[in-house]
Amino acid sequence: MLTATSQENDPVMGRRGQVPDTNRMATECFAKMFQAYLESSDDVRAVIDSMAQIYNDPAADPEVRESALDTLIDALFPKCHKGDLGIDLEEVKAFPADGTGVENVQAQLVNEEATFATQLSSLMEKQGMSQVELAKATGVNQSAISMMLSRTCRPQRRTVEKLAKALGVDAAVLWPAMAK
C-alpha cells in the first residue's frame, strides 16, 4: 500500500501522483510517432521495424545507428516535394550555396501546410462535420486532426487520403501537390 509520503517520492509517479514533465513529454512524443507509424504502409513499417532494431542494438557502430535514426525520421515524418515523398538529391545539389534553395523548399512546405489546413477547415465547415465526427469517419485521432488544423503537425500522405475520402473529395483538393 502506498502512503502519501511514498507516493511523493515515487520517481515514476512523481509528486502527488502526477506524471513528471519528462515522462509527459516523452509520452506525447511517442504518441505522435506511434500515430505516424500506424498511418504508414506495410513496407514503411518494415523499414521502421528494422531501423529501430539497428538503432537499439548496443553493438551497432555509432555511424550505423545515426544512419538508422535518419532513416527512421524520414520514414515517420516524410517530406513531400512536387507531390512525391522525399526530395531529389540532384535538386539539393543544385541549390545555391547561399541557402536560398532550402529557403524556397521551406516556404513551399509552409504554403502546402497552410493550404491543407485552410481546405480541411473549409470542407469540414461546409459539411457541418466536427473534428470528432471526422476522427470517427477516418480512424485518425481527433487530437491529430486538431494539430493538423493548427499546423502543429504535418499529415502523412495516407492521412490526407483518409481525410479526403471521408470528406468526399479528391486528395489533391486538400493537398494540391498530390495531384497526379
pLDDT for the residue 63: 78
**Domain segments of the chain as ranges:** 86-180
Say what angle helices 42-56 and 62-76 make with each other, to 10 degrees.
Answer: 150
pLDDT for the residue 98: 56
- Looking at the domain that runs over 86-180, which CATH code has it been given? 1.10.260.40
| 68 CB-near residues (< 8 Å, 6+ apart) | 51, 52, 54, 55, 60
Per-residue confidence of the chain (180 residues) as pLDDT tens digits?
444 444 444 444 445 556 567 887 888 878 888 887 887 777 778 878 888 888 898 887 787 788 778 777 777 766 544 444 444 445 555 555 555 555 666 677 778 888 899 999 999 999 999 999 999 999 888 888 888 898 877 788 888 899 999 999 999 999 888 875
